[in-house]
Amino acid sequence: MPNKELENSTMSYAFLKINSEMDRLGQQAQAAREREFQLFSALQLSPKARVLEAGCGPGFITGLLAAFFAQGNVTSIDLREDLLQLAKKRNADLKNVEFKKGDFCQLNEADESFDFIYCRLALSHVPDPVAALKEFRRVLKKGGTLCVTDVDDHSVIAQPEGETAHQLLAHAAQRQAEMGGDRYIGRKLLGLCNQAGFGDTKVQLHPFTVQGEDTMGLLPVYFEGRLAYLNPVEQKALERWTKNLNTALSQGTGFLSFLMFAAIARK
C-alpha cells in the first residue's frame, strides 16, 4: 500500500502515483458529469436537500453536488487525509460544503440526518459493503434516497481483447479482493441494498463507449487504476495491452465499452 497512514486500514483503494491518480479521477468525473447530472435530475430531489457524499476522494464530484443542491448543504467524507486536503483546496470557494475525515462504515452522524447520500466508486473498496449500506440507511431520513455507483470488471468489452487482458484484470481484482474490495460489485448492488434493509431498490446500467477522439480518455480512466494491484511484470503487460488497444481505437479498428452500475434505493 503506497500510503503509510493506510497500512492497517480496511479499505482496498490504492494507486501508484498521486498525480496520475488525480488526473485519472478528474477525467473520470469529467466523462460522467453529464450523465450524473441527468441521474440526479431524474431522482427529483429537492435543491434544499441535506446531502452526504460518502468517499469523496479529492472532491471532483463535490462541486457538482454543491451546485445541484445549491439551497441545501453537502457533507463530504473520506478516510484519507491527503485526498481530503486536495478536496478542500479544489472546492475552497463552495459555501455549502463541509469536509470531514471519517469512515463511512462507521459514521459519526446522527440517525436520519440526510435526504440524499451519494457513494461514487467507493463501495467497491470496503470489506463489508452491507455494513456500509446499513450505516447509510441509519443516517438517511425516512423517504430519503441513496445512490451508489460502481463498476463490474466483467462488463468490460474490448477489441482487440486477448486472454492476457482478462487474466490481468482478474489478477488485479483478486488482489483488490485480498485487500477487502470487490471489482465485481456492480451486479451485486441490488442484493446488497436489499440485505441492508432497503426494500425499494432499482439498478440502472450506464454504458460508456469509446467512440472517437473525445472519448479516448475512457481507456486510461478504466485501466490505469488497475496498475497498483499488479506486480511490475503484470504492470508492463497491461501497459502493452492498453497501448495496442489505444492504437486500434485511434485507427478506428478497436472497440472499448464498460458499464457503470447505479443503484437507487429509497428508505
Ligand X SMILES: C[S@@+](CC[C@H](N)C(=O)[O-])C[C@H]1O[C@@H](n2cnc3c(N)ncnc32)[C@H](O)[C@@H]1O
Q: Pick from 122, 165, 238, 245 the residue near ligand X by CB under 6 A.
A: 122
What is the nearest approach in angstroms of ligand X to the Cβ of residue 105? Answer: 5
Smallest separation, CB 234 to ligand X (Å): 20
In the complex, minimum distance from the CB of residue 2 to ligand X, in angstroms, rounded to a whole number: 12
Stretch of 42-50, 99-107, 170-178, 188-196 contacting ligand X, by CB under 6 A: 99-107
Nearer to ligand X, 25 or 265 (CB): 25
Task: State which amino acid sits at residue 43.
Answer: L
Q: Is residue 68 a contact partner of residue 36, using CB atoms and an 8 Å limit?
A: no
Residues 8-37 that bind ligand X (CB under 6 A): 11, 13, 25, 29
DSSP-H helix ranges across the chain: 18-42, 62-68, 81-90, 129-139, 163-178, 189-195, 218-223, 232-250
For ligand X, the binding residue among 31, 64, 69, 78 (CB under 6 A) is: 78
Q: Interface with ligand X includes 66 (CB under 6 A)?
A: no
- Closest approach, Cβ 11 to ligand X, in A, equals 4
For the CB of residue 47, give the shortest distance to ligand X in the complex, in Å. Answer: 21
192 burial class (0-12, 13-18, 19+ CB within 10 angstroms)? buried
Three-state secondary structure call for residue 9 = coil
Q: Kindly provide the b/e burial profile for residues 31-54, where b requires at least 16 CB atoms within 10 angstroms of the residue's own CB.
A: bbeebbeebbeeeebeeebbbbbb
Nearer to ligand X, 110 or 233 (CB): 110
Answer for which of 36, 49, 65, 80 binds ligand X (CB under 6 A) is: 80
Q: State the binding string over 155-184 for ligand X (x if CB under 6 A, else -).
A: ------------------------------
Give the interface size with ligand X as a residue count (CB under 6 A). 22
121 near ligand X, rule: CB under 6 A: yes
CA neighbours closer than 13 Å in the CB half-sphere of residue 263? 28
**Grid coordinates standing for 177?**
479482493
Q: How far is the CB of 59 from ligand X (least distance, A)?
A: 8
Burial of 79 by CB count in 10 Å (0-12 exposed, 13-18 middle, 19+ buried)?
Answer: buried
Residue reference for cell 504492470: 235
Which grid cell is 58?
479529492
Residues that bind ligand X in the complex, under the rule CB under 6 A: 11, 13, 25, 29, 55-57, 60-61, 77-80, 83, 103-105, 120-122, 125-126
